Structure 1
């Protein structure tokens, strides 16, 4: 695990800077203490990172659960809510033991790529207001409709009334440092690969805040800085931890919330696992059942000490990958950095301008949603592009799970249409006498999905037709199809249609019972 320390350490610093405001922002949006978001980030890095089999996945509090958490805390109270988090963790461990992680493999590639592109678009759009100094929306919000009454696009208009020249300048300086470091300096000397550009950008941002008068036109206001809780003593730090009220375990609503957290957190994790595995240049495969177990263990620990629910998170995972992370050590170190920083240097963290972090996330977002990806998906044809673009639009204009659901529904519809079209091969010949010869060749596997197409063609056959039905390649026929063929055998007599059934067993004219014939054929194939 330490073999790639020179890659994992710089990557962990980048993930740390990305995760810090996200942990605080998601806690704020969830109506929970700010410290609970940091706890979830620390546990997601150290506990989940240690148990997980994912090489580049990073876990922490998820924006997708913010609405659920907000409603649960309002109805249950925070201490009772923590019991639900623990219950959710136990259920996730059971799902891992029962090997439910296989669900993650049933999402089409086009939908997963659409999710990644959509997250990139959202990250980019959501960071523009922060880059201009407008911070009404919390960091980490991925929903189209924001809690402050704005939406993703209306916030871009509102920011024009709150432009901060200092924030814009810091954003531009940070972007220059990040791009110059990556495109030029990192290729000049190895030292620039070891020292990450984002760390330099953060240091420059802190110096800018300290040296430029905050009351001047180019100053950075205090409300445009990271805001980490600052304990005054060791006892004050320990006092920030909240412990669950286990007396609430008999409350049915606590159990409903726990089951909801387990289902949504597991689904988001499996989606993220599938996405990060596709991004991994080494194409490693994450054991999904072990991932569910790791997430469950993390949620149990987080719930016990006052943290928010945890999932694997695509924003941090993609930042880790793009920063050169190679093993799960980068996720673990990022958790250690979160823990150490909130204990040792919270005052220094509170001097980091959000504009610096916005610059880092702008680059992360762009890399996830490069125009080249859209061009590539378009060239693959409509079967790939339509589910892809529907997923992108669905995630951008609703939320993550709704967008994935829309993309998946369209993907399944495309499969049904393709099955409808490709159920058989049809060729029509006319003789000199004007009679019809229709040749129909069935595929190897015919399921109920092909029912409509076959029924349509059989019903369209004109009177006095010779139907050559070739089943030499057919291995399996669904019972629904057999019923259609048996019914057709009766209709064929009324329309004077002669059937020539061609199979490996020979030629049969006008079979009376297709079910018996194909059951025998299926038995031979088996």
Structure 2
């Protein structure tokens, strides 16, 4: 609904994401389907693009994802810092919690119907939340209280006492209790009965032909339309990035810490998008909300994702009327628990104790996701994480040792193993602070690599050292040929080379 697409297209994407993607993927807990990260892209596209043309873009996006999988582009997912991944989980958890509260309290303002879902996807989250609390529904609050009591009882007590309560999950009981509440209040307590707007809305087909009539097919006559390819590339890139991030986050939640092959995941997602687009479904990604709910429910293998696709197909095809009896407040409480577990206070405490280099990117990612969107939040978190790396490199490029002998300062600067242009500023700053009339040793013996930028900066300092009466000695790295250093010896008459002791360079 938030995407502005036919409701049945979202269900198709969920079914394909479960059965097909679940079967091809090697993710133990990943659950795929239509995702909020693509909702804005789809909504914008459908303003100017017919739905059948959009489906063609989904197919093209799937083909591109398969190509990315064969090109082994899945490795990109491993280059996101853990602090940003944890921030993504917490940020999504906070958004889930905030945006499900109106459902739990039964907001009865302008939220009924598609306008509500569009409102929930756009605008300031906190401002909208304050508006929602102006209108609550008694029946919804009662269902929410009952649902939370069941979920907490299952979580804190019952599952620890008997295996039966681990087999029958609390969320299933919550859904059943919600349906029973609806049926009872309809007959006996009508003042607490929830109207149609507060219930699940699944399209109901009156016959087999009307069911299959809900499927839509791509318009291949637009195959030469360049706008379709631009949209296809956009879908492929955003869906791939969101999938890789969700894979990384879901693997972190896995109790067994299994690692999902990311290239295989891109191939699976691509195949899913091709099939989904061919039969009228939305674009597919792996979804962290469903995946984390899968982990929390105790899933052990990808069979759960495949079965969820089959169950979704069976329910939509045969019992949509029963699904439409489920109260939204009951589902809201289930997601409130999911959101809390993703953003529980213990995670914030843990990140804080790890130090500012982990905590700052973590918080920045959360703020970006909550106040903007997923990709912006992750981009900000990664930028801050990269900045902390630069700062650390700036500080850790060298070690300075000072001592006084015969009334003159003897200073030794030992460079680290890898010295890059990122360290140039710190080294220049340190050299500029060397006092006049001193002896300086620049020890490069531990260096495996030194960027030309740094060598040039050191060379410039040695030229200027004469004017400050600084005597400079340079200890070259082991294994460097003298031919490579000829340019420096010719340029710098005062550059004295001294090789370190060969016997035990690691302790020099």
Normalising to structure 1: TM-score of the pair?
0.88
2:310 matched to which residue of 1? Answer: 336
Q: 1:265-304 residue pairs with structure 2 within 5 A?
A: 265-304=239-278
- Residue range with higher mean Cα deviation, 194-203 or 335-344: 194-203
* Residue in structure 1 matched with residue 323 of structure 2 by the alignment: 349
1:144-183 to 2 correspondence within 5 Å?
A: 146=119, 150-183=123-156
Paired residue for 1:13?
Answer: none
The DSSP-based 3-state class of the residue aligned with 1:500 is strand
- How big is each residue's C-alpha offset from its partner over 1:45-67, in whole Å with a ceiling of 9 and x where there is no partner? 00100000100000000101111
1:460 has 2:469 as partner:
no
Alignment correspondent of 1:90: 63
Q: How far has the Cα of 1:148 moved from its partner? A: 7.2
Q: Contact (CA 8 Å) 2:104, 2:332: kept in 1 or not?
A: yes
Of 77, 81, 84, which aligns to 1:111? 84
* Cα pair 2:472 2:496 within 8 Å, conserved: no
Shift of 1:458: 1.5
Q: Is the 8 A contact 2:398 2:427 kept in 1?
A: yes
Indicate how the Cα distance of structure 1 residues 211 and 285 shifts in structure 2: closer, same or farther if over 3 A, else same. same
Alignment RMSD = 2.5
Gaps of 5+ in 1: 1-27
1:184 partner SS: helix
The count of aligned residue pairs is 488
1:392 matched to which residue of 2? 366
Contact 1:486/1:512 (<8 A) preserved: no
Shift of 1:493: 2.2
- CA–CA distance in structure 2, aligned partners of residues 95 and 116 of structure 1: 25
Select the residue among 225, 231, 253 that pairs with 2:205: 231
Number of the residue aligned with 1:496: 469
CA deviation after TM superposition for structure 1 residue 512, in Å:
5.5
1:90–1:297 Cα contact (<8 Å) kept: yes
**How is 1:4-403 mapped onto 2 (pairs within 5 angstroms)?**
28-134=1-107, 146=119, 150-213=123-186, 216-403=190-377
Which residue number corresponds to residue 405 of structure 1? 379
Query: Over residues 168-198 of structure 1, what are the superposed CA-to-partner deviations in whole Å (9 max), with x where a residue is unaligned?
Result: 1001101111221232222332222211121
Deviations 1:265-315 (A, max 9, x none): 000000000001111110100000000000000000000000000000000
1:107-156 deviation line (CA, Å, top 9, x unaligned)? 01111011111111111111111100127569999x9x946764211222
For the residues of structure 1 that align with 2:294 and 2:112, how far apart are their CA atoms? Answer: 22
Q: Secondary structure at the match of 1:386?
A: helix
Q: Secondary structure, in 3 states, of the residue corresponding to 2:285?
A: strand
Kindly provide the CA deviation profile for residues 88-116 of structure 1, in whole angstroms up to 9, marking residues without a partner as x: 00000000000000000000111101111
Cα separation, partners in 2 of 1:380 and 1:194, compared to 1, 3 Å:
same
Q: Secondary structure at the match of 1:307?
A: coil
Distance 1:392 1:343 in 2: 39
CA contact (8 A) 1:57 1:276 kept: yes
Pair 1:262–1:108, CA change in 2 (3 A): same
| Contact 1:501–1:511, Cα closer than 8 Å, also in 2 | no
User: Unpaired segments of 5 or more residues in structure 2?
Assistant: 483-487
What secondary structure sits across from 2:474 in the alignment?
strand
1:201, distance to aligned residue in structure 2 (A): 1.1
Give 3-state SS (helix, strand or coil) of 1:250's partner: coil
Q: How far apart are the structure 2 equivalents of 1:232 and 1:95?
A: 42
Q: Deviations over 1:4-31 (max 9, x none)?
A: xxxxxxxxxxxxxxxxxxxxxxxx1111
Matched with 2:485 is none
**2: distance between equivalents of 1:278 and 1:413?**
24
- Tell whether the 8 Å contact from 1:391 to 1:406 is kept in structure 2 after alignment: yes
Q: What per-residue deviation string (whole Å, max 9, x for no partner) do you get for residues 204-243 of structure 1?
A: 1011111113994322121000000011111111110000
Residue 459 of structure 1: how far off its partner (Å)? 2.3
Preserved contact between residue 499 and residue 511 of structure 1 (Cα < 8 Å): no
Of residues 455, 460, 465, the one that matches 1:482 is 455
TM-score, normalization by structure 2: 0.91
* Distance (Å, rounded) in 2 between the aligned partners of 1:279 and 1:497: 57
**CA distance in structure 2 between the aligned counterparts of 1:108 and 1:139, rounded to whole angstroms:** 39
